[in-house]
Amino acid sequence: MAAALPALALGAGLLVAAWRWLRGAARPGRGGSMRGKTVIITGANSGLGRAAAAELLRMRARVIMGCRDRARAERAAREIRAEVGERADGAGELVVRELDLASLRSVRAFCHRVLQEESRLDVLINNAGIFQCPYMKTEDGFEMQFGVNHLGHFLLTNLLLGLLKNSAPSRIVVVSSKLYKYGEINFEDLNSEISYNKSFCYSRSKLANILFARELARRLEGSGVTVNSLHPGIVRTNLGRHVNIPLLAKPLFNLVSWAFFKTPLEGAQTSIYLASSPDVEGVSGKYFGDCKEEELLPKAMDDLVARKLWDISEVMVGLLK
């Protein structure tokens, strides 16, 4: 039996490698040229956002990387430029701008600069997120996951809506998660002052993303601005840095994640697809996974909850007094 273990391990490794190759081969093609288009991606210095920024730069877009840590973002931008290469025609550009979604002041400053400097905005990808962190609050006193994942992006999107409308046809892409299924919108404790469960609060913020996207799509009907949400699948990124994995279990976890989790580029494909593909031109208010429309649970399609969440969010971020 012991002699057979190496052969079994080799066979399993080959099967996993073949499966990963087939999964990569099945990836949809790029959506074509994005030349002349401006794209904002939040959290673009790592993970899904970095992968999307690199691909959209390859497609000749002007990509604005909205990132909390400017030094890390500048380093990521240099690496992406080196990977993609300079184009002789000058098409495609990476621009780094500071954006801390845990600070409404920072969100407003970022949007003010964008509105001052940019003549158009074709795509906004709300990608940045924080995952299952210990209980902490944003600069404005909001529970961190709800504040960053939902409220920061809610304010950002609303402040940029005028530019998006003026640039129509334009697109808003909201990165959610399959874990929305385990969340509930508890209007009595949105800030988790009564109790805090980091897993539940993450799921709640991702449910809020979908409800926000659907309500925004309803409000933007006929404007030429489309809004869609998505889940990227299970991806190997640093999003799970707050998740504690026992030291002895880490080698096994790393092996499993290599074998079965998506790479950031694979995970970013649906964001890239919704940002660039002619297949979804005019499509709005939908939820996607693996570049295909997927069904939502009824709680993610509750229009009354979506409208109430919108109204409360407007007050929380100071759009309404």
Is 229 in contact with 273 (CB distance < 8 Å)? no
With 60 as the cut, is the pLDDT of residue 218 above it?
A: yes
Is 59 in contact with 31 (CB distance < 8 Å)? yes
What is the model's pLDDT at position 240? 44
Catalytic-role residue among 135, 182, 196, 202:
202
- Helices 153-166 and 198-219: crossing angle in degrees, nearest 10, is 20
CA distance 126 to 206: 12
pLDDT over 90 percentage in the chain = 78
The CATH fold assigned to 29-316 is Rossmann fold (3.40.50)
Is 171 in contact with 204 (CB distance < 8 Å)? no
**Composition of the chain by helix, strand, coil, percent to 5:** 50, 15, 35
What is the model's pLDDT at position 161? 99
pLDDT class of 5 with cuts at 50, 70, 90: very low
- Computed over every residue of the chain, the mean pLDDT equals 88
User: Which residue spans within 78-139 are E strands per DSSP?
Assistant: 93-98, 123-126
Starting at the edge strand that comes first in sequence, how are the strands of the sheet with 225-231 ordered?
93-98, 62-67, 38-42, 123-126, 170-175, 225-231, 287-289, 292-293
pLDDT class of 90 with cuts at 50, 70, 90: low
What is the model's pLDDT at position 155? 99
287 in catalytic set: no
CA distance 59 to 273: 12
